Amino acid sequence: MGRSHPRRVRSLFLALLACFGLLIWRLGVIQVAQHDLYAGARLEQGTAAVPLESEPRGRILDRNLAPLAGGVPEECVVIIPALMKDADHVVRRLAAVLGRPVSEVRSQMGKPGALPYSLSPSQRRALAAHQWEGVYVLPVTVRYPTPSLAAHVLGFTGPVAGRDEIAALSRAGSKSYGLGDRVGKAGLELAYEQDLKGSRPARTARVFVDARGRPLQGLGLVVTEGAPDGRHDLVLTLDRRVQAAVEEVLDRHGVRGAAAVLDVGNGDLLAVASRPGFDPRAPGKAAKKDGDPFVNRALALYQPGSVFKLVVAAAALEEGLVTPESVFRCEGRSEQLIPCWNGAGHGELTFGRAFAESCNPTFAKVALRLGAERLAAFSRRLGLEDDGIIGLPVKHDPRQDLSAIARPYNLVNASIGQGPVLLNAVQAAGLAATFANGGTYFRPRLVAEVRSGGKVLRRLPPDQGRPAVSSGTAAAMRRLMTLVTTEGNGRSAWVPGWGSAGKTGTAELGDGCTNAWFVGYTPLARPRYAIAVFIEGGVSGGEAAGPVFREIADRLLACAPKPGARAGDGLSTQVPLL
């Protein structure tokens, strides 16, 4: 009995020691590992807070790290109603300064927050002069700047739809979600939701309060910085300046369609624009009178019309079936295979002249020499069955089926870009880039990096490229494309001082309507930009799309030095991004 007593004491001591050790460990977890969590909770309990960020999400940046979404400060009115001694007086005076109905401003006074109004310089001066208690002018980080750019690429956010969406988002990654969250609903906002989402505002305005929520006198308003919350930034290949120029030109011409700009040297997308557009800050207010504003027409498939003659010509030259000097004859409307747009006919003409003037019968004859299988194979080599973009998940459209060229009666129609042939503006720009850079096809890239705090987490390198046609064929194609802009039906796309080359396209839709294209590159010496312009309802490629192409090219080249060398077949010297 005497021996068991020390053993029981020892066991009890060890048990107490273990409990004490567990208590110390738990206190360490709370005070060290979970310090930020509990400190944040205590701060939230002891303050009235206003987030100085419209949405806690990572930024979407252009290639020069200029913000396209997130990180855009905007001076806003921030209110703390509990600090207002005469709230009714403040509301009436504030409504007068903002030029808003009193009832509208009063309806937003229920809790601390940032009012959804942009301030003019005169309004900021008036608010600074009054200095009402509980009313502040502070920089609030808005999600989308004014005006917004690349809306179809960026997409937009919206309130989480319910518990089913919360469960799906939680299963997709490690982020946690609640019913009050805003999440990506389209575009990159949706595709990179798990990277972009943050858990708390980066900056918050706070007023310290007592247990009853009354402001503590003398402490005033303070701005606190949030701790890292797992959000990541996206770095795109887009250039904000190029994107803005393209969108301004499309809007000035009232275009319903799209434009895409590629770096000739590596396939990076510098601009992707679609019209009609929408405001990502209020997507529900988008007008639909000019077609669905949420369709990205730069990635949607359309018949290319004579733009597809780029493929037919390259394939025939590569296979040695024609040379630019090969002679054909066009009888206009009398042609048995397919009539020409020139009813009187072109008569006898070279293949180069047929390309420049887009002679349909000539290309039908060349396509028959090629055969459907070879034409489809060259189309694939030139990226026309690959609608993928590096960094942007794109669901393949099964309508883009080049094997359909081999079906009965399709080859002749396909030779002029009708029938089963479909492509989008990005693919069309890729055609021009391939010939401009000497024959290498690069898969387009949109996203370059995922970053966190300036550190690169993931890098999406540009495509290494693959030979599509020989350098000799590419050089011949550049000469043919230059004929289009200097002597053919694409002279409206010529860029004075720099030169340009390309191909027009007019696709007949069968209901009396046409779609217009111009696809090409600029400048002639050391090509830099491959540009595709697509216009729904355009009269013709030369009349509708060519001038838009020229104006976009003018804007992009305006700040660059004029080339000192004569026009030639030089290759791009662009330095790849990152």
Who wins on pLDDT, 498 or 453? 498
**Quick check: 35 pLDDT over 70?**
no
DSSP per-residue codes, 554-577 = HHHHTTSPPP-SPS--PPP-PPPP
Which pLDDT does position 512 carry in this prediction? 76
> Cα separation of 577 and 529, whole Å?
14
C-alpha to C-alpha distances, 207 to 40, 53, 200, 215, 340, nearest whole angstrom: 15, 17, 18, 7, 76
Which tokens is 408 given? 């009965």
Find tokens 């830099």 and name the residue.
Answer: 528
Lowest mean pLDDT among 53-57, 304-308, 529-533, 551-555: 53-57
Mean pLDDT score, 50-55: 90
**Quick check: 466 pLDDT over 90?**
yes
**pLDDT range class, residue 577, cuts 50, 70, 90:** very low
> Cα separation of 103 and 385, whole Å?
57
**Quick check: 46 pLDDT over 90?**
no
Beta strands in 486-528 (DSSP E): 501-508, 514-522
Mean pLDDT score, 217-236: 83
Which pLDDT does position 220 carry in this prediction? 67
Mean pLDDT score, 529-552: 96
Q: Which residues contact 161 (CB under 8 A, 6 or more apart)?
A: none
> Cα separation of 542 and 560, whole Å?
26
Who wins on pLDDT, 561 or 288? 288
Which pLDDT does position 360 carry in this prediction? 94
Do 424 and 299 contact (CB within 8 A), yes or no?
Answer: yes
Amino acid at 416: I
Mean pLDDT score, 227-237: 92
DSSP state of 22: H
Which pLDDT does position 208 carry in this prediction? 75
483-524 pLDDT tens trace: 999 999 999 999 999 999 999 999 988 777 899 999 999 999
3-state secondary structure 478-491: HHHHHHHHHCCCCH
**pLDDT range class, residue 219, cuts 50, 70, 90:** low
Conformational region of residue 381, where left means phi above 0, alpha means psi within -120 to 50, and beta covers everything else: alpha
**Quick check: 250 pLDDT over 90?**
yes
Do 575 and 528 contact (CB within 8 A), yes or no?
Answer: no
- Between vectors from CA 416 to CA 415 and to CA 417, what angle results, nearest 5°? 95
126-153 pLDDT tens trace: 998 988 888 999 999 999 988 899 999 9
How high does pLDDT run on average in the chain? 88
**Quick check: 28 pLDDT over 70?**
no
**Quick check: 158 pLDDT over 70?**
yes
Mean pLDDT score, 422-448: 97
Which pLDDT does position 387 carry in this prediction? 85
309-337 pLDDT tens trace: 999 999 999 999 999 999 999 999 988 88
Which pLDDT does position 31 carry in this prediction? 56
56-80 pLDDT tens trace: 999 999 999 999 999 889 999 999 8
Do 26 and 179 contact (CB within 8 A), yes or no?
Answer: no
% residues pLDDT > 70 (the chain)? 88
Which pLDDT does position 567 carry in this prediction? 33
Q: Which long-range contacts (CB under 8 A, 24 or more apart) does 208-214 make?
A: 208/46, 208/47, 209/46, 209/47, 209/48, 209/82, 213/48, 213/82, 214/82
Q: Are strands 455-459 and 447-452 parallel, antiparallel or unpaired?
A: antiparallel
> Cα separation of 168 and 84, whole Å?
43
3-state secondary structure 194-208: HHHECCCCCEEEEEE
> Cα separation of 74 and 148, whole Å?
13
Q: What is the number of other CB atoms lying within 10 angstroms of the CB of residue 44? A: 13
Mean pLDDT score, 229-249: 96
Question: φ and ψ at 311, to 5 degrees?
Answer: -70, -45
H or E element: which one contains 539?
none
Who wins on pLDDT, 186 or 395? 186
Which pLDDT does position 364 carry in this prediction? 95
Which pLDDT does position 573 carry in this prediction? 34
Do 459 and 449 contact (CB within 8 A), yes or no?
Answer: yes
**pLDDT range class, residue 454, cuts 50, 70, 90:** confident
339-356 pLDDT tens trace: 998 888 899 999 999 999
Which pLDDT does position 562 carry in this prediction? 54
Q: What is the number of other CB atoms lying within 10 angstroms of the CB of residue 462? A: 20
**Quick check: 2 pLDDT over 70?**
no
331-340 pLDDT tens trace: 999 888 899 9
168-193 pLDDT tens trace: 998 888 888 888 889 999 999 999 99
